[in-house]
Amino acid sequence: MPCLVFQKCIEIVTGISLPYSAVLGERFYIGHFGGIIINANTVIGDNCNISQGVTIGVSGLKEKRGVPTIGNNVYVGANAVIVGKINIGDGAVIGANSLVTKDVLSHTTVLGVPAIKINDHSSKGYI
């Protein structure tokens, strides 16, 4: 119980909801303060960078319901939403204000609502 109270205090002070059960890789980096929500069952790889206002959450129906798995070296731009039982490949870039509901291939950039592939640029330079 004390851990949950401490977690809630951190959420209030920082504006970041990061449950203790989320699996985060080494060198996980939050670029700016506030508005970040990460589902308790999320798995995020090594060397990932997320910006303010990002939501990583649950979505989908029946067997497609779940949370994202995010690979290594992924950059997530401000106010992006990544939801559902999907995979974000290594080195991917999620553009600002994007809604990602489908898998993203490694070393690609997606952008938009819904997010679509716009090029084959990786996150090198963002991380």
Query: What's the pLDDT tens digit per position in 53-97?
Result: 999 999 999 988 999 999 999 999 999 999 999 999 999 999 999
Tell me, what's the pLDDT at 126?
87
pLDDT at 32 over 90: no
Q: Average per-residue pLDDT in the chain?
A: 93
Residue 127: inside a domain, yes or no? no
DSSP-assigned states of every residue in 19-80: -TTSEE-TT-EE-SSS-EEE-TT-EE-TT-EE-TT-EEE-B-SGGG-B--EE-SS-EE-TT-
SS3 108: coil
Q: Is 2 helix (H, G, I), strand (E, B) or coil?
A: helix
Catalytic residues: 32
- Residue 111 falls inside a structural domain: yes
State the Cα–Cα distance between residues 78 and 81, nearest whole angstrom: 9
Cα 53 to Cα 37, 50, 97, 119: the distances in Å are 8, 9, 9, 24
The answer to whether residue 115 is domain-embedded is yes
Domain with 114, as residue range(s), is 2-119
The pair of three-digit structure tokens given for residue 96, joined into one six-digit string: 């600002």
Whole-prediction pTM: 0.91
pLDDT at 125 over 70: yes
- pLDDT category of residue 112 using cuts at 50, 70 and 90: very high
Residue 6, pLDDT > 80, answer: no
The CATH number of whichever domain residue 23 belongs to comes to 2.160.10.10
Number of domains in the chain: 1
For residue 124, being part of any structural domain is answered with no
CB 56 within 8 A of CB 39: yes
Q: Please report the sign of the dihedral spanned by the C-alpha atoms of residue 97, residue 78, residue 126, residue 22.
A: negative
Report pLDDT digits (tens) over 89-98.
999 999 999 9
Residue 116 has pLDDT above 90, yes or no: yes
